Amino acid sequence: MHTVVVGTSGVSASDVLAVARGAARIELSEEAVAALAAAREIVDALAAKPDPVYGVSTGFGALATRHISPELRAQLQRNIVRSHAAGMGPRVEREVVRALMFLRLKTVCSGHTGVRPEVAQTMADVLNAGITPVVHEYGSLGCSGDLAPLSHCALTLMGEGDAEGPDGVVRPAGELLAEHGIQPVELREKEGLALLNGTDGMLGMLVMALADLDTLYKSADITAALSLEALLGTDKVLAPELHAIRPHPGQGAAAANMLAVLEGSQLTGHHQDDAPRVQDAYSVRCAPQVAGAGRDTMAHARLVAERELAAAVDNPVVLPDGRVESNGNFHGAPVAYVLDFLAIAAADLGSIAERRTDRLLDKNRSHGLPPFLADDAGVDSGLMIAQYTQAALVSEMKRLAVPASADSIPSSAMQEDHVSMGWSAARKLRTAVDNLTRIIAVELYAATRAIELREGLSPAPASRAVIEAARAAGVQGPGPDRFLAPDLAAADAFVRGGHLVEAVEKVTGPLR
């Protein structure tokens, strides 16, 4: 079993994926345990002094002016968790909650939070036991941390609230902890606050979206190449020398991927045959430019994620010189912006894919293909409504592309008067990524059928490999009308599982 060791200097994206989506075990490094203990000594020393220190001996947010006496501080920490665990709506996915908890543990282990080593160990034990707190869709404004989501996680550490066991059954958290021999934590000064105050949910969703989009952008290059082939387009526009004179890295990578898929095709280069064309439509000719711009947006988002993965996000923070200082590092703007950028890029990628699909189905623009790729047009409707479904998904993607980070709503009696809405940006990006997968699947379904309807000319070896693998996976080829939803579901699973990229890379080698 893979083990992820959490130290003081952050974690990697692959660590997040291994814990969130896999069964990786978590261990705390000796360095992290020592840093936790050292920071706790500072907090304990400050707690013993009569001077109020925010988060240690005061209230929180707009209530920070009240000094809390020592006998009430444990209750204060319990209360902040209970009162902030105020989420509503549907449950958040298991992988998101695991990423959320793991990334909070990452910051705790930095030695800047003042949390005791035993609290950090309990966080690791809960994750290792496969216990997943019940976290709800709504409750974070992406500022002062993902407060309600993280509070529901902290509630589980206290043995309160509900959680999902490794068997998938939701039960009282106290029962699950007892079954796995985990002692609930008794929170002390600053610990409740430290468990709530971070960008961990939005960051976890960003890391997972980037992993999914990496596969989807390669998939979109493949389906764009298949559509170009099916439309008897020209691959001359993909020449490296053309893309070198506009040196956006993503554009060059997308063009190279399409060229690799099309190598050896007998279907390209016929744009001067029976119905001469000077050039292909933008949706075909500009595919590398659009997919490339999205790739470059991903590169920026990945840079932001890497910085955040190395960060210790808490308020207040414990500094090595013994100071405990209030700060604004919990603000989610850096992460929120790139989550919104990715939703915009994903919407545009879905939009251009839908335009290619529509072109494949239109007899006036498909250069000899039957209307709607139907077996007997008029009797059969072919893929007419598959394109409707794809268009509906694209329309939804455009709505999801409206930036959440452009909004702000004041909270906490105007103390928290500007918020990032980064959690909301992350939630809608997850839906956008899900829909983009379906959009690419519909283009795959249409393009492979169209290629098979081109008689007398052989597609590229990579295209043949895609068609064979798709058919083996239950994505059926041309023929009379049939119940279409199962075919589309099979195409979706083929793309979603990375099998489209795998089929091509067996022929071309790794795509960029």
Give pLDDT tens digits for 320-342: 898 889 899 999 999 999 999 99
**pLDDT tens for each residue of the chain, 512 residues long:** 799 999 999 999 999 999 999 989 999 999 999 999 999 999 999 888 888 877 777 776 666 778 778 888 888 899 999 999 999 999 999 999 999 999 999 999 999 999 999 999 999 999 999 999 999 999 999 987 899 999 999 999 999 999 999 999 999 999 999 999 999 999 999 999 999 989 999 999 999 999 999 999 999 999 999 999 999 999 999 999 999 999 999 999 999 999 999 999 999 987 566 666 778 999 999 999 999 999 999 999 999 999 999 999 998 899 989 888 989 999 999 999 999 999 999 999 999 999 999 999 999 999 999 999 999 999 999 999 999 999 999 999 999 999 999 999 999 888 888 999 999 999 999 999 999 999 999 999 999 999 999 988 999 999 999 999 999 999 999 999 999 999 999 999 999 999 999 999 999 999 99
Q: Which helix (H) or strand (E) holds 359?
A: helix 333-361
Give pLDDT tens digits for 445-493: 999 999 999 988 999 999 999 999 999 999 999 999 999 999 999 999 9
Give the tokens for residue 269.
């280069």
- Which of 26, 42, 188 minimizes the C-alpha distance to 111? 42
Residue type, 326: S
User: Rounded to an integer, what distance in angstroms lies between the CA atom of residue 443 and that of residue 353?
Assistant: 6
The answer to whether 4 and 15 are in contact (CB under 8 A) is yes
Answer yes or no: 54 catalytic.
yes
- Confidence (pTM): 0.95
Max intra-chain CA distance, the chain:
90
Q: How far is CA 56 from CA 64, 96, 324, in A?
A: 10, 29, 9
The string of DSSP letters for 159-186 reads T-SEEE-TTS-EEEHHHHHHHTTPPPP-
Which positions ≥6 away from 164 have C-beta within 8 Å?
Answer: 94, 131, 132, 133, 134, 170, 171
The answer to whether 467 and 459 are in contact (CB under 8 A) is yes
The answer to whether 96 and 205 are in contact (CB under 8 A) is yes
Give the tokens for residue 431.
């839906």
- Sign for the pseudo-dihedral over CA of 46, 50, 53, 57: positive
The answer to whether 389 and 440 are in contact (CB under 8 A) is no
Give the tokens for residue 273.
């045959």
Count other C-beta atoms under 10 Å from residue 175's C-beta: 13
User: Rounded to an integer, what distance in angstroms lies between the CA atom of residue 107 and that of residue 493?
Assistant: 36
pLDDT of residue 320: 87
Residue type, 227: S
- Which of 176, 154, 173 minimizes the C-alpha distance to 162? 173
Pairing of strands 136-138, 88-91: antiparallel
User: Backbone dihedral region of 383: left (phi > 0), alpha (psi from -120 to 50 degrees) or beta?
Assistant: alpha
Q: Which helix (H) or strand (E) holds 240?
A: helix 240-244
Q: What are the contacts of 504-509 at 24+ separation with CB within 8 A?
A: 504/222, 504/260, 504/261, 504/462, 504/465, 504/466, 506/465, 507/461, 507/462, 507/465, 508/260, 508/261, 508/263, 508/462, 509/260
User: Rounded to an integer, what distance in angstroms lies between the CA atom of residue 170 and that of residue 134?
Assistant: 8
